[in-house]
């Protein structure tokens, strides 16, 4: 009898909490969630020397954050630093760092802790793309893709998460990709690294949840191609439904997601529907949809930026 009473009580508590969480989600779907204040927060952005990383730095500069900019490209990073100051940032710190090298991440992280303080918002944005079919991709490039797009997240979390836990305050941001949700022709190594980054970020979030570290937030971002030059030459078969994203638009959505402490952000919204369809549609139907949207041949016109230089 006592076992049944315990089970019934547990079920009622579960149903009550579930109903509350659904109502809360419904309310915030209809009404904008209040945005948190990030003025004075120490925001570290990897890959800050260009593209999305640079635009994120400028957005957080206008919000009054303390910026820590990491990039392997010293000149590009210093240019971002200059632009951030012009945008209103009073404290900006640029560090040259190859995020693919564990020892370098730890070394520069120690510098940041001593010279700036504890990072409270970590944005893992650095990424590379080879754009080659799997069997045409040299082993060294495969390894580099994983080192930059995924393993760097391990080392930055190891470096900065302990202080977030100690302070019960922090925000972990993973810039993954729509290619971290579905496999894409011509992006086997990139997809694998982005799937890994997504799974890692989600798993660490669950760890913090289980350990009741409620002050640590996670945001995982999965955009379709963005017009930053990284995926130059790539196409979409249906621009009205699956557009190649404008950088300013994408960054605005990313910053809003961080400020509203959203767990997931897929861009464009069609990706939410695609993931829903993927969960139950027959494989052949899914491939037909991918073909119609131009996903199967999206990489055909890819232009490697390094070859252009």
pLDDT digits (tens, 9 = 90+) for 191-220: 999 999 999 999 999 999 999 999 999 999
pLDDT digits (tens, 9 = 90+) for 171-193: 999 999 999 999 999 999 999 99
pLDDT class for 23, splitting at 50, 70, 90? confident
Structural domain spans, the chain: 35-308
Task: Report the distance separating Cα 116 and Cα 88, nearest Å.
Answer: 18
Alpha-carbon distances of 201 from 103, 150, 260, rounded to whole Å: 21, 10, 18
Q: What's the pLDDT score for residue 261?
A: 96
Between 29-38, 155-164, 179-188, 279-288, the lowest mean confidence (pLDDT) is in: 29-38
Task: Report the distance separating Cα 246 and Cα 248, nearest Å.
Answer: 6
pLDDT class for 309, splitting at 50, 70, 90? very low
182: nearest Cα among 45, 21, 290: 290
278 phi and psi angles, rounded to 5 deg: -60, -30
pLDDT digits (tens, 9 = 90+) for 226-264: 999 999 999 999 999 999 999 999 999 999 999 999 999
82: nearest Cα among 49, 53, 109, 115: 49
Tell me, yes or no, if 190 is annotated catalytic.
Answer: yes
Which residue in the list 157, 190, 266, 292 is annotated as catalytic?
190
Q: What percent of the chain has pLDDT over 70?
A: 96
Q: What average pLDDT does the segment 259-270 reach?
A: 97
Give yes or no for residue 11 having a pLDDT over 80.
Answer: no
What pTM was estimated for this model as a whole?
0.92
177: nearest Cα among 28, 37, 300, 298: 298
CATH class of 35-308: alpha beta
230 phi and psi angles, rounded to 5 deg: -65, -35
């Amino acid at each position: 009898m006592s076992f049944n009473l315990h089970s019934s009580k547990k079920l009622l508590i579960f149903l009550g909490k579930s109903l509350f969480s659904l109502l809360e989600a419904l309310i915030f779907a209809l009404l904008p969630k209040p945005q948190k204040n990030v003025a004075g927060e120490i925001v570290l952005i990897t890959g800050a020397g260009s593209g999305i990383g640079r635009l994120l730095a400028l957005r957080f500069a206008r919000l009054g954050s303390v910026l820590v900019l990491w990039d392997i490209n010293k000149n590009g990073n210093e240019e971002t630093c200059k632009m951030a100051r012009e945008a209103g940032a009073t404290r900006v710190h640029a560090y040259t760092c190859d995020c693919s090298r564990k020892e370098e991440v730890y070394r520069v992280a120690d510098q940041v802790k001593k010279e700036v303080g504890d990072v409270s918002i970590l944005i893992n944005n650095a990424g590379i793309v080879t754009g080659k079919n799997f069997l045409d991709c040299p082993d060294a490039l495969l390894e580099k893709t994983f080192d930059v797009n995924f393993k760097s997240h391990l080392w930055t979390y190891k470096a900065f998460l302990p202080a977030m836990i100690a302070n019960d305050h922090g925000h972990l941001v993973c810039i993954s990709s729509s290619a971290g949700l579905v496999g894409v022709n011509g992006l086997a190594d990139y997809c694998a690294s982005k799937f890994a980054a997504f799974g890692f970020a989600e798993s660490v979030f669950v760890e913090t949840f289980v350990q009741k570290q409620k002050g640590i937030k996670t945001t995982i971002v999965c955009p379709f191609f963005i017009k930053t030059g990284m995926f130059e030459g790539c196409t979409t078969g249906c621009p009205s439904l699956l557009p190649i994203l404008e950088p300013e638009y994408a960054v605005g959505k990313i910053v809003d997601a961080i400020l509203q402490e959203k767990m997931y952000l897929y861009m464009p919204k069609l990706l939410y529907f695609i993931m829903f369809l993927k969960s139950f549609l027959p494989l052949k139907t899914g491939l037909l949809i991918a073909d119609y949207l131009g996903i199967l041949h999206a990489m055909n016109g890819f232009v490697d930026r390094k070859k252009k230089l």
